[in-house]
């Protein structure tokens, strides 16, 4: 950084500090509005470009705040920023501190916001019982608010959180209902903040996408983007662009997805928001997989795994530290409550194990998903032989390698070798290999050659013996049908075995696993789970 640049940033920060000091110590309605403007700018704009500076501004706001409301508000700004960066422990710590400051006040709106924030954090950790507890606490606090406008506004945020909760549980219709309820509450409150409106539309877009209604989903994403284009670039804009890209990826339209993925990636790289990075790297992998860009696919996968590991480590650290704190606290409790405390520890350990198991399970499921996607792409069979012409021998001649020049006396002439390879190509494009009586002599006869020559060609060019060669053709063929014909997905595995020429279900399953590394039932389960 140049001296001039450093000097400009230093002056800017001092200006922000002095301005916030003036605003907080002079609490007129106009000053409060300006305070809110700085709060919003720090959260949506500065944090995306200079995260450390955003944290310093939030800390400065706290230092100069003189009332519980402003102190709590500045602490919640820090909590929100830290939550984006994945530091859940510190984020929850700031929120708890804000709650303590508000404890003996009648600031019920901000009490509700604090408990709502904590509900969100425990939802991210998959500790849903704890999350629901804070949601219920928020709902009870709202009942104490006198101003109906603020009641409606706060209920709007509660409905948003409930929508996320239902989304986590894959209750997409219920999630959409909750978002629409949130919109009604915000309208009743007279709230017209374009960012909140855009966030509701983004949530609706995500809900309809998960239901497979791509048209409605795209409509809501476009409405959200239209509002966000008028604001500084932020994490929500990246989520919207990513959501739109996912629609085109689901439609197998990588050309339309590319500019959206590119923009979302740029915003994600600039942002400290770990969950955002994780989502966009996952979408990038789908794009690179669809375009068969293996190098960039691996690069994106490494980035996503690094971010996912950091999220997991942060979550595990928070749970472990919480358990340690709980254990220390319980050591000081009287023996009379020992049984009760033991029960609490056991319950927390169960939740801890459940959370860790869930994280590991999700990671394994993601790896299995990636593996199956690669299998689907790599196991595409050869093109149809419908338009195949014998006179294309010359066209193929440059593609087929000549006999290896290892032996001084080749087994056959290059011309014979080419003819057998061309015949074998026609055989691969047919479904004759699915006959249960297919044999080396049968295929040799089909290729107008003898078994010795055919065996040599298969061993030398297919790099496997005849039995495994036939089994691989059968497996690739059945994968293609399962992927492209939903009727095949309804068949029992025994029927698929019979269809592909195997004498038993066990032999089919063994061959399938040998070729793909997974069982037929796992592959079918994956296909049926896709929207």
Can you give the pTM of this predicted structure?
Answer: 0.52
How many Cβ atoms sit within 10 Å of the Cβ of residue 498? Answer: 17
Predicted pLDDT at 363: 61
Distance (Å, whole) CA 22 – CA 55: 19
Predicted pLDDT at 355: 61
Predicted pLDDT at 490: 83
Predicted pLDDT at 330: 47
pLDDT along the chain (531 residues), means of 10: 46 48 44 70 71 81 81 85 75 87 86 85 76 86 87 87 85 92 89 86 93 92 90 85 92 90 85 81 86 84 80 63 49 52 70 64 59 60 40 38 43 89 91 89 92 92 91 91 83 89 91 89 81 60
Predicted pLDDT at 354: 64
DSSP line for 166-203: HHHTT-HHHHHHHHHHHHHHHHHHT---HHHHHHHHHH
Q: What is the CATH number of domain 1-145?
A: 1.25.40.10
- Supply 326's token pair: 């709980």
Predicted pLDDT at 403: 38
Predicted pLDDT at 509: 92
Name the phi and psi angles at 318, rounded to 5. Answer: -65, -45
How many Cβ atoms sit within 10 Å of the Cβ of residue 503? Answer: 10
Distance (Å, whole) CA 120 – CA 162: 9
DSSP line for 478-511: HHHHHHH-TTGGGS-HHHHHHHTT-SSHHHHHHH
Distance (Å, whole) CA 287 – CA 351: 36
Distance (Å, whole) CA 479 – CA 376: 7
Domain at 411-529, CATH homologous superfamily: Homeodomain-like (1.10.10.60)
């Amino acid at each position: 950084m140049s001296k001039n640049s450093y000097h400009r940033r230093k002056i800017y920060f001092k200006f922000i500090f002095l301005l916030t000091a003036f605003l907080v110590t002079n609490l007129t309605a106009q000053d409060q509005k300006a305070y809110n403007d700085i709060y919003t700018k720090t959260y949506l704009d500065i944090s995306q470009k200079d995260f450390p500076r955003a944290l310093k501004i939030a800390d400065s706001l706290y230092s100069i705040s003189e009332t519980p409301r402003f102190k709590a508000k500045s602490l919640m700004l820090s909590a929100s920023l830290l939550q984006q960066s994945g530091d859940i422990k510190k984020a929850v710590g700031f929120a708890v501190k804000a709650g303590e400051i508000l404890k003996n006040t009648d600031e019920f709106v901000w009490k509700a916001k604090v408990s709502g924030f904590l509900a969100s954090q425990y939802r991210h950790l998959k500790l849903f019982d704890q999350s629901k507890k804070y949601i219920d606490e928020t709902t009870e606090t709202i009942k104490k608010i006198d101003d109906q406008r603020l009641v409606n506004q706060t209920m709007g945020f509660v409905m948003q959180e409930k929508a996320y909760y239902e989304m986590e549980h894959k209750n997409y219709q219920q999630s959409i209902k909750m978002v629409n309820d949130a919109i009604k509450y915000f309208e009743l409150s007279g709230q017209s903040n374009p960012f909140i409106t855009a966030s509701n539309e983004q949530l609706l877009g995500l809900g309809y996408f998960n239901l497979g209604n791509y048209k409605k989903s795209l409509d809501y994403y476009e409405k959200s983007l239209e509002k966000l284009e008028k604001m500084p670039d932020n994490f929500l804009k990246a989520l919207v662009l990513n959501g739109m890209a996912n629609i085109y990826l689901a439609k197998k339209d990588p050309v339309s997805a590319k500019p959206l993925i590119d923009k979302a990636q740029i915003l994600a790289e600039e942002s400290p928001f770990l969950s955002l990075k994780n989502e966009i790297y996952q979408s990038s992998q789908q794009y690179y997989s669809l375009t068969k860009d293996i190098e960039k696919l691996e690069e994106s996968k490494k980035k996503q795994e690094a971010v996912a590991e950091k999220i997991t480590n942060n979550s595990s650290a928070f749970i472990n530290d919480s358990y340690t704190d709980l254990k220390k606290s319980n050591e000081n409790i009287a023996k009379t409550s020992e049984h009760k405390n033991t029960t609490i520890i056991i319950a927390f350990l169960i939740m801890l194990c459940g959370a860790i198991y869930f994280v590991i399970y999700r990671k394994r499921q993601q790896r299995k998903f990636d593996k199956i996607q690669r299998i689907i792409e790599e196991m595409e069979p050869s093109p149809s032989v419908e338009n195949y012409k014998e006179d294309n021998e010359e066209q193929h001649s440059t593609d087929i390698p000549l006999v290896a020049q290892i032996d001084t006396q080749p087994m056959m002439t290059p011309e014979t070798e080419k003819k057998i390879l061309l015949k074998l190509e026609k055989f691969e494009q047919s479904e004759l290999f699915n006959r249960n009586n297919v044999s080396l002599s049968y295929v040799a006869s089909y290729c107008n050659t003898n078994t010795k020559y055919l065996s040599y060609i298969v061993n030398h060019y297919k790099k496997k013996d005849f039995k495994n060669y036939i089994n691989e053709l059968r497996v690739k063929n059945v994968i293609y049908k399962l992927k492209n014909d939903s009727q095949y997905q309804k068949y029992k595995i025994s029927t698929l075995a019979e269809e592909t020429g195997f004498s038993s279900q066990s032999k089919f399953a063994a061959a399938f696993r040998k070729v793909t590394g997974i069982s037929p039932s796992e592959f079918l389960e994956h296909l049926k789970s896709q929207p």
